[in-house]
Amino acid sequence: MAFISPGAYWRELDFSEYAPSLASTRYGVLGGATWGPEDEPTVITNENDMTLQFGKPVASDYGLHSGLHYLRRGNQLMYCRVGNNAQKADAIVLENGSSATNMTITAKYSGSRGNNIQVTIANGTTAGKYKVTVVMPLDDEGLVTDTETFYDLDYTTTSKYFMEDAVNDGVYAEMNKSRYIEIDVEDGATAPTLGTYTLGQSPNTAGTDGITGLTSADYIGLYTGQSATGLKAFANAEILDVNLLAVPGVTDASVLFELLSTCETRADAMAIIDPRWGLNTNEVVTWHNDPAETGGNSLNSSYGALYWPWIQAYDAYTQKDMWFPPNGFVAAQMAYNDYIAAPWFAPAGLNRGAIRSGLKLEMSPDSGQRDTLYGFPNSINPIVNFNAYGITIWGNQTLQRKTSALRDINVRRGLLYFEKIVATSVLYLVFDPNDPVTQKRFTNLVSPVAEDIKKRRGFYDFRVICDESTNPDIAIDRKEMYGKVLIKPTRAAEKIVVDFAVLASGAEFAEY
């Protein structure tokens, strides 16, 4: 801006930039449901929100159960419903005094919960207009959870009160669109038959959940134009923010490898993997070295962790004790760990790994069995029922078989957290001049974050370098700027050894 005429001018220059705080435990889950959008990751923050969005969990699917276990400790759940063969409930309304179809009322989402929706069509307050009332029961016990009413709708397609547009799209300001149904009015339809219609009742189409018969391909998913299904819906880290990811109870090798691949490609999330139900110590070791059981590939990645065995807990929805895969309990403890400490603390042990909601374990591995599960090259985190202390996560290993710091869950999760904050912060430097000023801004953004983590026991030490030594002329000509962050991550004290030395009465302590 050039200043031409006399006057007093001012500009604002903002040099107060700093790295943001980010959520450290955001759990992404792929599973089934009796209601709700399909292949559309949805943010859930509490149990009531979960059941309103996706209905009650069912015994044949562990997705919602895992999410509910997590919500006991965490409040950032991203749930994605898979159910490619699910069916929407509907009801046919005939024209008044005729057998011709007037309209079809369809549940907004597929699933058995839509079978309980009741829709009443009555005369409106104005002649030739109609009132539509929608009642969504809470469940098959008939408890009403919500009612919505649309007043004075008509059949003129050019009217803002046209029944189809008003219910489906909420096209006029006085009324929002329906949360539970959609209406398809037949061309040239006249007056409908008044009455109450229950969706999904014979001879109409019944809603189905699409949980039974799901294949590995359904969970893996695919890209369809601008949308994606299954795990592919979680692939884009720029759109969805998650740092834990699971497909609860699904143990097919192709799904598990896709799950690990998704986390590795995102480079900001960690997979929690479940073993099959009913395995003993030796069998779970064999399985994690070859989940396809065909002499194939092993589970081997620092972006994943495996916990064993399954856990029994009370299910308030079926009102009985049920067996569950461990992922939901583990994700809950990670959320608790981050709440009372930080991601670079191990989510294990009596302080941060105690599972209070579990009743008992499939089996509780003893010390020798834990050596087999945990000893190199195996990478299975045991869950143990200690007599005095209860059910406790007793492992802190990723699935990486290479012996490095990234074999530790606390190191991997701490690094993911640090990397994401740095990447988010330095994004504002993109397209700025590649000169010492911008390089110094990089250092000023990253160093305080690393220093804070060091003070909070995440790093032993660190160095941040971004200058001419990391940015030679050839890199600058390629329009690239390089920064280096050297860190020494804090390791967990997994084995505490105490030596008791018995000395003679006249011995000098200094000698020993």
* 74 pLDDT more than 80: yes
**Helices 47-54 and 63-70 sit at what angle, rounded to 10 degrees?**
160
Residues 6+ apart with CB under 8 A from 488: 459, 460, 461, 462
* 117 pLDDT more than 90: yes
| Cβ 71 vs Cβ 77: under 8 Å | yes
Please list the residues that pair with 77 across neighbouring strands.
27, 44
Which pLDDT belongs to residue 225? Answer: 80
Q: How confident is the model over 361-379, as pLDDT tens digits?
A: 999 999 999 999 999 999 9
Question: Rounded mean pLDDT of 109-123?
Answer: 93
Which pLDDT belongs to residue 174? Answer: 58
Q: How confident is the model over 27-47, as pLDDT tens digits?
A: 999 999 999 999 999 999 999
CATH 3.30.70.141 fits 90-198, yes or no: no
Cα separation, 236 vs 238, whole angstroms:
5
Which pLDDT belongs to residue 116? Answer: 85
Q: In Å, how far are 53, 202, 211, 281, 322 from 60, measured between CA atoms?
A: 19, 25, 8, 25, 11
* 15 pLDDT more than 90: no
What is the residue extent of each domain of the chain? Answer: 27-84+215-410, 90-198
Q: How many CB atoms within 10 Å of residue 362?
A: 17
User: Can you list the alpha helix ranges (DSSP code H) found in 290-433?
Assistant: 327-340, 349-352, 367-374, 409-426
Element (H, E) at 255: helix 253-266
Higher pLDDT, 473 or 139: 473
Cα separation, 4 vs 2, whole angstroms:
6
Which pLDDT belongs to residue 213? Answer: 83
Residues 6+ apart with CB under 8 A from 291: 251, 252, 253, 256, 298, 299
Confidence category of residue 13, pLDDT binned at 50, 70, 90: low
- Residue that is written with structure tokens 């799904």 in the block: 255
Q: Which two tokens stand for residue 199?
A: 């969706």
End-to-end CA distance of the chain: 77
The per-residue pLDDT of the chain, averaged, comes to 91
Q: 3.40.309.10, 3.30.70.270, 3.40.50.11780, 3.40.720.10: which CATH number matches 27-84+215-410?
A: 3.40.50.11780
Residues 6+ apart with CB under 8 A from 389: 350, 354
The pTM of this model reads 0.91
Which pLDDT belongs to residue 392? Answer: 98
* Percentage of residues of the chain with pLDDT beyond 70: 96
Q: How confident is the model over 248-279, as pLDDT tens digits?
A: 999 999 999 999 999 999 999 999 999 999 99
- Phi, psi dihedral angles at 112 (to 5 degrees): -70, -25
- Phi, psi dihedral angles at 119 (to 5 degrees): -125, 125
Question: Rounded mean pLDDT of 169-190?
Answer: 82
Q: How confident is the model over 444-473, as pLDDT tens digits?
A: 999 999 999 999 999 999 999 999 999 999
Question: Rounded mean pLDDT of 19-26?
Answer: 78
Which pLDDT belongs to residue 18? Answer: 74
Q: How long is the chain?
A: 512
